Amino acid sequence: MKAFEANFDGLVGPTHNYSGLSFGNVASQNNQANVSNPKLAALQGLAKMKALHDMGMVQGVLAPQERPDIFTLRRLGFTGSDTEVLAAAAKDAPRILAACCSASSMWTANAATVSPSADTADGKVHFTPANLTNKFHRSIEHETTGRILQATFSDEKHFAHHPALPGVEHFGDEGAANHTRFCHEYGEAGVEFFVYGRAAFDGSRPAPQKYPARHTLEASEAVARNHGLSDKGVVYAQQNPDVIDEGVFHNDVIAVGNRDILFCHERAFLDQSAVKQELTEAMGGRFRVVEVPASQVSVQDAVQSYLFNSQLLSLPDGRTLLVIPEECRNNERVWSYLTELESGDGPIDALQVFDLKQSMSNGGGPACLRLRVAMNEAELAAFNQSTRMNDTLYSTLNDWVERHYRDRLLEADLADPQLLIESRSALDELTQILNLGSVYPFQRV
């Protein structure tokens, strides 16, 4: 059966803001307290989704989360009416309030790890929502993420859903941002490549010194077991701990892969030559690596431009496209590398630039915004078609954003009870547009 790679992008939620919540993520830290524009952020994301749909790619939408997260604030001891909860949190714990208002679920590369049916023992597509334990504001996503994934991929004949791993640092799991699947054809068994920052149960292994390694080897191994992957279909690699300390908080900031191509920086992995060899062997010798030398693009340039946070796509006409953020064009060294790459005879044929500045300013590029789900024709027909991008859904969602979103948000606005009302009424309407049922806590009380 023919199979395709679908990209499910996170729709940016109405509370998108810059709160500097992610220690180790340079953009998040540098833009703390800047004014955000949630409306523009959502429209920029939708424009990318529509463009991929127009290229003939299968494109889906994943709904954002309910924020402000009143339910978490109540768990933390804030009481009274919703308005009183917001006011008390703003007064006594403004940083906790900010964490409970983040629109960070937009970066759906962190939503889950997905294994296509060709790789799994039971022949189903498997999903494990990432626990995102390392950052409090992200650790409160996985439950609702799981419900949104179940509402998007609900047919039990084809889709299997697991709960997130235990929410402790030993099993820190950042999902598909640290997972890539290689294959020759999407419908054939592939090689799932799990990249981790540290080994939690082995203190003798190297680890970053300055910034956290969010993802552990043990988390990846547990996901591989739960998904029923075969030993020969899995390769593990450790991220170079030094580059984590230079701001590479996820592997998708320094490497991206698709089919039989790995595009990465030469300093991406610990013992990089062994990693390349292991992947090549697992791929039966047919594997291509495009490795960018530090002499042309430094790790700092990669972190600043998000060159590797690109989408490497196989277009319907067979060409390979690299989808990059505008920041790549604005960096002289990166752009000169890319111009050479495009005109050379390597595996990357074309470039497409997108303006994703609102998301980029929080450390999320084109690849962070999407969750890849490779599916065969039967699975494609079985997922929730109301979440599939097309011309009608694009204009419906644009109109929905125009009606519900603000174009300016500061930390001081997060306690505004009106923002909570706006956000909930927008999401209530969205669940109808996307036919999701009651996935949000406020719809379930």
Q: In the window 76-105, what residues touch ligand SUO (CB under 6 A)?
A: 102, 104
Query: Given 5, 174, 379, 411, which residue is catalytic?
Result: 174
27 known member of a binding site: yes
| Residue 429 near residue 56 (C-beta atoms within 8 A) | no
The mark string for 364-403 relative to ligand SUO (x by CB under 6 A, - otherwise) is x---x-----------------------------------
**177 lines the binding site for ligand SUO (CB under 6 A):** yes
172 or 190: whose CB is closer to ligand SUO?
A: 172
For the question of residue 218 being annotated catalytic, the response is no
Q: Output the smallest distance, CB 107 to ligand SUO, in A.
A: 4
158 flagged as catalytic: no
Q: What is the greatest pairwise CA distance in the chain? A: 64
- Which of 20, 212, 241, 257 lies at the binding interface for ligand SUO (CB under 6 A)? 20
Contact between 28 and ligand SUO (CB under 6 A)? yes
Nearest distance in Å: CB 80, ligand SUO:
26
Stretch that binds ligand SUO, among 83-91, 106-114, 181-189, 339-347 (CB under 6 A): 106-114
Residue 4 tokens, joined: 């395709």
Q: Is 22 in the site for ligand SUO (CB under 6 A)?
A: yes
Interface residue with ligand SUO, options 19, 258, 305, 331 (CB under 6 A) = 19
Q: Does 225 show up as a binding residue in the annotation?
A: no
With contacts defined by CB under 6 A, name the span among 16-24, 192-200, 377-385, 400-408 that binds ligand SUO: 16-24
Contact status: 18 vs ligand SUO (CB under 6 A)? yes
Say whether 16 is catalytic: no
Distance CA 115, CA 372 (A): 10
Q: Candidates 12-20, 153-161, 219-227, 236-244 — which segment interacts with ligand SUO by CB under 6 A?
A: 12-20
The total of other beta-carbon atoms located within 10 Å of residue 390's CB is: 12
DSSP 330-397: HSHHHHHHHHHHHHSSSS--EEEEE--HHHHTTT--TTTTEEEEEEEHHHHHHS-GGGB--HHHHHHH
Per CB under 6 A, which of residues 273..302 are in contact with ligand SUO? none
Tell me whether residue 228 is annotated as binding.
Answer: no
DSSP 8-65: EEEPPPTT-------TT-HHHHHTTT--B-HHHHHHHHHHHHHHHHHTT-EEEEE---
3-state secondary structure 294-334: CCCCCHHHHHHHCCCCCEEEECCCCCEEEEEEHHHHHCHHH
CB of 72 to ligand SUO, least distance (A): 15
Closer to ligand SUO by CB, 187 or 366: give it: 366
DSSP secondary structure letters along 64-117: ---SS-HHHHHHTT--SSHHHHHHHHHHH-HHHHHHTT--GGG-GGGTEEEE-G
Q: Does 335 bind ligand SUO (CB under 6 A)?
A: no
Distance, in Å, from the CA atom of 62 to the CA atom of 301, rounded to the nearest integer, reads: 30
249 carries a ligand binding annotation: no
* Subset of 244-263 contacting ligand SUO (CB under 6 A): 250
* DSSP 3-state of 237: strand
Q: Is 28 annotated as a binding residue?
A: yes
Look up tokens 């790549």; give the residue. Answer: 328
When the beta carbons of 26 and 262 are compared against ligand SUO, the nearer one is: 26
Q: What are phi and psi of 323, to 5 degrees?
A: -95, 120
Are 135 and 48 in contact by the 8 Å Cβ rule? The answer is: no
Task: Determine the Cα–Cα distance for residues 4 and 43; give it in Å rounded to an integer.
Answer: 26
Nearest to 359 by CA among 135, 153, 56, 110: 110
214 annotated as belonging to a binding site for a ligand: yes
The catalytic position among 250, 328, 404, 411 is: 250
Counting residues that bind ligand SUO (by CB under 6 A) gives 20
Which amino acids are annotated catalytic? 174, 250, 368
- Contacting positions for ligand SUO (CB under 6 A): 18-22, 25, 28, 102, 104, 107, 109-110, 135, 138, 177, 250, 362-364, 368
